[in-house]
């Protein structure tokens, strides 16, 4: 039997419903003292505990302990699950109001909704494509201005020998640009930092990350990414596109902007988590599609990261959004490039076309590719480990915004200095091509008619450098240059990821991989005398790029398709797959993927695809949290206000129970109601006065709930008078009358499967006569994971 390490946090536990200071039952069946909060109005508030007797004395003691101990900040550590994250409701709340609305709707009504969904997906694609276009053009224009400023100055000062002035100018310029990007991120919207992919992964997984899909985040993200790229950091603009697409989707689908306080009164039907998630999937796919010109890859990315239940219609809509997105980008870029209608720029990055004889590979090359995959896995793991330590360091010491801005500026300055030094010391002069295809040729210390290839590599936008590494003629790059470049860029990229700037890790990874891959190709060509097959180092650059990227982010299926679509050639499909799988297997041996590391470091309760393999001996009874705060179907307003105001519990879902007969039998489960619904009910004062007729109030409609979505006011903002506290509230119409339930004996994998497949937020555990005995939430399931020594249980903590 697997060994389990119990680490129960006794600090305040404020999860989806759990009681503060509540423990987790030990696995051997004995009971921990189970603190339980006794609220006023005991008769109307059901504290349905476990069947075992619980010592009340001990309860209160440990309860007080936990109160005294709070807030007990626990040092940051990845063996924690934070309680600050709420879940999303991916399960429709099918209460009476909802069913009435659905039943009123005609078949044509559903058709119209379906058409609206397609229209929204079209809009998502269009806007995402336009944003990609804006970023691309913005970066290109600013980079051109910067290049000319720097070039002029370098040329001027190189003549007079004042190289240090050039260096300082360059470094200061870069730092200043990066500073702007870092300031808006660090001070205005910290969630816009990084690529946003971990956040979107969490969102699609069902975790509510605050502010992740707001308009402000989008604006900061877009401006931030332009600054980072123009500032010369080792970053790409592709990752942020995924986040941008998701924000666009979340905004467009709701038909209003809460930030701008504009409500267009459209798409009101879609104002709930279920629909929003679907659109956010489409937005993320559209983002991938615009970034890499890979619509199928985008769909697969969304599915790999987000989907729990594969729905054909949804997949098509996602596909449609991706298609429109890449098409929009392509079309507008073709106009920008004065060649309207020439659709040859499907994505922000274009790997160039692999054609002709160079695309073939042979059977005996496959072991070489696999070896390169293993190298990619190793280097990727190294990258991730270094970045992990760095992130830990940042969490501990660099958490103030001004420090973060300073770090970003420092990195920008160091990047500029390192680049400059390497350009200075490298003598890798290449003759200018006859057609001057190089866009940014820097002569520097080279003879006339030549350019410095190192300077080109550093100065180019990274996308262009990747393409050069893939396609330039053999002999364009000096092996030493490439080696040095790989080394420095590796550390620079690693340092850069996690800064308080908006930036992606795809392009730096590809660039590092392409560099060492090309190096491999050159070495192979040197070793073997017959150069017919080995002659093309570009092929090895592609494989290296795939290996490095796979080693860092550990995606396989979607990444293969993205690479295939970006290269515009399926011949390399098979080797790329092999390389990505090898990189993943090798990398996973040492360390998780970069995004997973960052998710873990944020202590997000992330649900994986399956329950841990050895968890069949855990049952719902042991996993669930109990006792549960239940409400009566007709409940006193005062009780509800007290429960909601209890900051130490902060429950989000409450089973609703009803007394079947007048005798002492315990109450049966008859529904489930959410905190957000109760808040709306309190706000609209849907009360019934005791022993009198119903108070006259407007009948509440779904619209009232939708208007409040998704930013429900806190309970503190709702004033309830003492008289009103004595009123009753009838929850019948508003609760979900058919919550999913499981018996106590259900095994963890079975509970997990139900919870994950249906995207639940609360799963009620009942006994054999339908009495509530516990509640399972995301944190109860995300707690268990397979560590090196078998099944482990993560701590739950307030972070």
Site for its own copies, residues 586 to 605, rule: CB under 8 A: none
What CA–CA distance (Å, rounded) separates 316 from 586? 34
Distance CA 690, CA 698 (A): 19
Pairing of strands 86-87, 795-797: unpaired
Taking the least distance from each CB to its own copies, the nearer of 495 and 572 is 572
When asked if residue 660 is in the footprint of its own copies (CB under 8 A), the reply is: yes
As a whole number of angstroms, the distance between CA 622 and CA 783 comes to: 12
Tokens representing residue 425 in the block: 């010391």
- DSSP assignment of 430-499, as one string? EEPPTT---SS---TTSPTTEEEHHHHHHHS-HHHHHHHHHHSPTTSS-HHHHHHHHHHHHHHHHHHTTS
Q: Which of 570, 589, 695, 707 binds its own copies (CB under 8 A)?
A: 570
Strand partners, 631: 656
Q: Which of 264, 389, 393, 617 binds its own copies (CB under 8 A)?
A: 617
Q: How far is the CB of 703 from its own copies (least distance, A)?
A: 18
Contact between 304 and its own copies per CB under 8 A: yes
**Does 159 participate in binding its own copies (rule CB under 8 A)?**
no
Closer to its own copies by CB, 224 or 538: give it: 538
* 274 counts as binding its own copies under rule CB under 8 A: no
CB 554 → its own copies: shortest distance, Å? 11
**Site membership for its own copies, residue 385 (CB under 8 A):** no
Tell me how far, at minimum, the Cβ of 46 lies from its own copies, in Å: 16
Q: Does 434 bind its own copies (CB under 8 A)?
A: no
Closer residue to its own copies in complex, CB, 336/424? 336
Q: How many residues does the chain have?
A: 799
Q: How far is CA 787 from CA 77, 162, 353, 780, in A?
A: 15, 57, 44, 17
- Interface with its own copies in residues 69-108 (CB under 8 A): 92, 94, 99, 102-103, 105-107
Q: Pick the stretch among 174-182, 407-415, 495-503, 611-619 that binds its own copies (CB under 8 A).
A: 611-619
Q: Which of residues 730-759 bind its own copies (CB under 8 A)?
A: 737-738, 740-743, 745-747, 750, 753-754, 757-758
Both tokens of 315, joined, read 């997949």
Looking at the Cβ atoms of 707 and 745, the one nearer to its own copies is 745
Query: What is the rounded CA–CA span in Å between residue 83 and residue 96?
Result: 31
Least spacing, CB of residue 597 vs its own copies, in Å: 18
Asked if 742 contacts 750 with a C-beta cutoff of 8 angstroms, the reply is yes
Considering the complex, state which of residue 309 and residue 389 has its C-beta at the smaller distance from its own copies.
309
Q: How far is CA 482 from CA 488, 513, 516, in A?
A: 10, 11, 7
Extract the tokens encoding 258: 């809460």
Nearer to its own copies, 99 or 176 (CB): 99
User: What stretch of H or E contains 696?
Assistant: none
Sole window of 127-135, 508-516, 524-532, 562-570 interacting with its own copies (rule: CB under 8 A): 562-570
Among 97, 370, 466, 577, interactor with its own copies by CB under 8 A: 577
Q: Which of 161, 448, 609, 690 binds its own copies (CB under 8 A)?
A: 609
Instruction: Verify cis geometry, omega within 30 degrees of 0, for the bond prior to 710.
Output: yes
Between helix 107-160 and helix 273-292 the angle, nearest 10°, is: 40
Count of residues touching its own copies (by CB under 8 A): 90
Among 26, 149, 260, 613, binds its own copies (CB under 8 A): 613
Residue with tokens 């991120």: 185
Q: Is 371 in the site for its own copies (CB under 8 A)?
A: no
Which lies closer to its own copies via its Cβ, residue 160 or residue 363? 363
Nearer to its own copies, 492 or 673 (CB): 673
Q: Which residues contact 6 (CB under 8 A, 6 or more apart)?
A: 24, 26, 27, 793
Nearer to its own copies, 26 or 570 (CB): 570
Toward its own copies, which CB reaches closer, 703 or 789? 789
Task: Pick the closest to residue 656 from 730, 727, 712 (CA basis).
Answer: 730
Q: Say if strands 653-658 and 668-674 run parallel, antiparallel, or are unpaired.
A: antiparallel
- CA dist., res. 138 & res. 226, Å (int): 7
Look up residue 356 and give its two tokens. Answer: 């002709």
Region 309-368 residues binding its own copies, contact defined as CB under 8 A: 309-313, 315-316, 319-320, 323, 326-327, 331, 340-344, 346, 355-356, 360-364
**Contact with its own copies (CB under 8 A) among 189, 565, 596, 793:** 565
Q: How far is CA 605 from CA 19, 27, 76, 335, 586, in A?
A: 18, 21, 15, 45, 26
Residue closer to its own copies by CB (options 288, 796) is: 288
- Nearest distance, CB of residue 383 and its own copies, angstroms: 22
548 binds its own copies (CB under 8 A): no
Q: Which H, E and C letters describe 224-257, residue by residue?
A: HHHHHHHCCCCCECCHHHHHHHHHHHHHHHHCEE
């Amino acid at each position: 039997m697997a060994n389990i390490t119990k680490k129960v946090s006794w600090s305040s536990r404020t999860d989806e419903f759990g009681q503060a200071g509540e423990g987790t039952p030990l696995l051997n069946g004995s009971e921990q003292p189970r603190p339980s909060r006794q609220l006023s109005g005991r008769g109307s508030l059901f504290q349905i505990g476990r069947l075992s007797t619980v010592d009340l004395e001990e309860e209160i003691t440990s309860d007080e302990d936990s109160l005294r101990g709070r807030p007990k900040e626990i040092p940051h550590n990845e063996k924690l699950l934070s309680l600050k994250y709420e879940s999303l409701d991916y399960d429709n709340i099918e209460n009476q109001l909802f069913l009435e609305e659905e039943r009123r709707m005609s078949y044509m009504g559903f058709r119209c909704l379906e058409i609206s969904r397609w229209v929204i997906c079209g809009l998502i694609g269009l806007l995402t494509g336009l944003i990609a276009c804006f970023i691309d053009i913005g970066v290109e224009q600013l980079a051109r201005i910067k290049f000319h400023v720097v070039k002029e100055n370098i040329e001027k000062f190189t003549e007079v020998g004042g190289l240090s002035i050039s260096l300082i100018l360059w470094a200061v310029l870069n730092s200043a640009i990066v500073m702007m990007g870092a300031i808006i991120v660090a001070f205005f919207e910290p969630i816009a930092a990084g690529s946003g992919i971990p956040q979107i992964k969490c969102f699609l997984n069902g975790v509510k990350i605050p502010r992740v899909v707001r308009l402000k985040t989008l604006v900061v993200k877009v401006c931030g990414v332009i600054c980072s790229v123009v500032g010369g950091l080792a970053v790409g603009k592709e990752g942020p596109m995924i986040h941008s697409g998701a924000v666009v989707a979340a905004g467009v689908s709701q038909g209003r902007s809460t930030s701008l306080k504009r409500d267009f009164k459209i798409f009101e039907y879609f104002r709930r988590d279920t629909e929003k998630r679907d659109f956010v999937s489409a937005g993320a796919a559209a983002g991938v599609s615009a970034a890499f010109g890979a619509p199928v890859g985008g769909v697969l990315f969304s599915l790999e990261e987000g989907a729990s239940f594969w729905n054909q219609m949804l997949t098509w809509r996602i596909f449609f959004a991706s298609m429109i997105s890449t098409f929009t980008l392509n079309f507008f870029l073709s106009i920008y490039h004065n060649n309207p209608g020439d659709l040859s720029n499907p994505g922000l990055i274009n790997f160039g076309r692999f054609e002709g004889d160079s695309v073939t590979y042979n059977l005996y090359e496959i072991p070489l590719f696999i070896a390169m995959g293993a190298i990619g896995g190793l280097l990727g793991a190294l990258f991730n480990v270094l970045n992990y330590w760095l992130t830990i360091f940042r969490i501990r010491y660099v958490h103030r915004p001004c420090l973060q801005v300073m770090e970003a500026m420092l990195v920008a300055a160091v990047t500029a200095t390192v680049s400059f030094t390497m350009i200075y010391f490298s003598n890798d002069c290449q003759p200018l091509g006859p057609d001057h295809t190089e866009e940014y040729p820097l002569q520097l210390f080279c003879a006339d008619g030549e350019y410095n290839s190192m300077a080109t590599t550093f100065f180019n936008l990274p996308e262009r450098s990747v393409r050069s590494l893939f396609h330039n003629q053999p002999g364009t790059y000096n092996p030493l240059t490439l080696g040095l470049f790989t080394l420095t860029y590796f550390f620079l990229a690693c340092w850069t990821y996690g800064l308080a700037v908006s930036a992606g890790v795809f392009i730096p990874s590809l660039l590092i991989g392409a560099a060492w891959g090309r190096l491999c190709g050159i070495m192979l060509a040197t070793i073997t005398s017959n150069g017919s097959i080995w002659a093309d180092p570009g092929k090895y650059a592609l494989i290296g790029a795939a290996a490095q990227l796979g080693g860092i982010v550990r995606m396989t299926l979607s990444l293969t398709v993205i690479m295939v679509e970006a290269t515009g050639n399926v011949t390399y499909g098979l080797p790329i797959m092999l390389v990505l799988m090898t990189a993943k297997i090798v990398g996973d041996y040492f360390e998780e993927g970069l995004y997973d590391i960052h998710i873990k470091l944020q202590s997000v309760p992330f649900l994986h695809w399956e329950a841990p393999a050895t968890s069949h001996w855990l049952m719902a009874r042991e996993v669930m949290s109990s006792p549960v705060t239940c409400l009566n179907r007709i409940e006193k307003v005062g009780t509800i206000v007290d429960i909601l105001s209890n900051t130490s519990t902060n429950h989000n879902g409450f089973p609703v129970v009803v007394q079947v007969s007048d005798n002492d039998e315990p109450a049966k489960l008859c529904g489930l109601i959410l905190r957000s619904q109760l808040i709306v009910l309190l706000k609209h004062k849907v009360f019934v006065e005791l022993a009198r007729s119903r108070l006259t109030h407007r009948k509440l409609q779904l619209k009232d709930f939708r208007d409040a979505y998704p930013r429900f006011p806190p309970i503190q903002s709702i004033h309830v008078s003492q008289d009103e506290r004595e009123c009753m509230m009838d929850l019948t119409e508003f609760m979900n009358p058919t919550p999913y339930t499981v018996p106590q004996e259900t095994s963890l994998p079975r509970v997990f499967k139900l919870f994950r497949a249906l995207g639940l937020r609360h799963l009620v555990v009942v006994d054999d006569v339908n009495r509530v005995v516990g509640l399972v939430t995301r944190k109860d399931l995300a707690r268990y994971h397979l560590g090196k020594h078998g099944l482990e249980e993560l701590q739950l903590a307030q972070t």
